[in-house]
Amino acid sequence: MNGAFQMRSIQSNSTLSRRTILLGMVGSVAQLAGCGGGGSGVAGLSSGGTGSFTSGTISGLGSIIVNGIRYNDDSASLIARDDGSAFGDTLKVGMVVSIQGSPVTAAATTTGIATATAYRISCGSEWEGPVSSVGATSFDMLGLTVDVLATTVFEGAATQLTGLTTLHFVEVHGYVDQNTGRLQATRVEVSATAPTQYKLSGVVNNFDAGNRTFKLGSGTQFSNQIRWDGSTVIPSTWSDGVFVRVKMAAATPLLATQIRLLTSPLTQLSAEDEHDAEIHGFVSAFVSIANFTVNGIPVDASTARIAGGTVGLGVRVEIHGSISNGVLMATKVETPSDTDVASHEFEFHGTVSALDATAQTFVLHGLTFKYDNSTSIQGVVMANGVGIQIKATRSSGVWFATEIRADD
């Protein structure tokens, strides 16, 4: 990736604590798929910060933008969320990641974006397998339902939901809603070729140790029955109600080859105490406001300011705070709606190529963007090789640039 950019330092402000400044950070997702880039009022962290931890959706490229922070990922170690092995794919917009990195530096201009350096990144899809049916705003696979927002990124053999058919296979990134058992997709990679394995994640239900069978899901959503045998890698202890990630042979009936308990990214990435943190996702387990889990991350919000609604199982949250003994100690918890998430823009930084002034299209990071007279173009003359930063939306499989300006 083209991830090089200059890090800017800022002066300490004795009137603002790190947590106070963090609360001013506005992130987005394409689950949480929005753009947290320039002009969003991102304040950054004071020079007293010791590091940062972020979990959310990649909402822009050049390097990667997650929760309103542009992380330089040039030298980062990429780790597969499934099992801790090396992540073999390129990071792409719409993927859900967790990042352990440097302190965050505030944007130097009102149109700039906060920056940091990523040291370790955990990434992985949630579900993979054949499409069984397609609806107006969702599709089914392996007995479970995937919900699609306007900001869900489709790539491959279908570039939007209306192009998806039961002849396709999908790999889906996103967030499992533990209340409904459904997956809210942030990225869907579509292929006409069967994968080498199927994959699901969710809460174990209908656990039958005698017959070695179980299902995944909750509410009214349950997967097809999954079985295991003596060769399957299984947890030492597991039962109904635990969250697992399951790899299966690409065939039916479903036979698990590996079953793993959900691991906290804080542990996987060796995130350190006192690091400032921001995470976006769904509450996947809830005991109390002082003890709940988001994206596998333990959270204590007993002293946090709660904005927008009640926190509980399956609720979408955006949480700010800091890490202490493997727990995110929240200072602020917000509960955005699907509408809030779907209204967010993406942001990209890079060099223009394949410019077609007649068709009003150009390519950035391998993606084709369209623009027209409604696009705000400021301080830049469009030409191949020019460095730009853009705000963009995605609709009907098309990327549209709403704002174009010279890159800082």
Write the pLDDT tens digit of every residue in 36-89.
333 333 333 333 468 999 999 999 998 899 999 999 999 999 999 887 788 878
Residues of the chain with CATH 2.40.50.320: 127-261, 345-406
Distances (CA, A) of 208 to 39, 205, 240: 54, 9, 9
Judge contact between 394 and 95, C-beta under 8 A. Answer: no
| Residue pLDDT, tens place only, 86-100 | 887 889 999 999 999
Q: What are 57's strand-pairing partners?
A: 96
| pLDDT band, residue 193 (cuts 50/70/90) | very high
CB contact at 8 A, 347 and 35:
yes
* 335 SS3 class: coil
How deeply is 179 buried, as exposed, middle or buried, from its count of CB atoms within 10 A (0-12, 13-18, 19+)? middle
For domain 345-406, the question of CATH label 2.40.50.320 is answered with yes
pLDDT digits (tens, 9 = 90+) for 151-191: 899 999 999 999 999 999 999 999 998 788 899 999 999 99
Q: Round to whole Å and give the CA distance between 329 and 116.
A: 21
Please provide residue 339's backbone torsions phi and psi, each rounded to the nearest 5 degrees.
-65, -40
* Per-residue pLDDT tens over the stretch 108-165: 887 788 999 999 999 999 999 999 999 999 999 999 999 999 889 999 999 999 999 9
Q: Which of 176, 272, 271 is nearest to 223 (CA)?
A: 176
SS3 of 59, please?
Answer: strand
pLDDT at 17 over 80: no
Region 21-46 average pLDDT: 34
**CA-CA distance, 240 to 97, in Å (whole number)?**
27
Kindly report the average pLDDT of the chain as a whole number: 86
Side chain identity at 8, as an amino acid letter?
Answer: R
| Residue 406 DSSP label | E
Helices (H), 89-230: none
pLDDT of residue 49: 64
Q: How far is CA 192 from CA 122, 136, 144, 163, 188, in A?
A: 27, 21, 20, 12, 13
CATH of 127-261, one of 3.90.1260.10, 2.40.50.320, 1.10.3720.10, 2.70.150.10: 2.40.50.320
Q: The whole model's pTM is what?
A: 0.85
d(CA 138, CA 149) in angstroms, rounded, equals 9
The answer for 51, left when phi > 0, alpha when psi is -120 to 50, beta otherwise, is left
Q: What is the largest CA-CA distance in the chain?
A: 69
Say whether 215 sits in a helix, a strand or coil: strand
Please report the pLDDT score of residue 69 as a whole number.
93
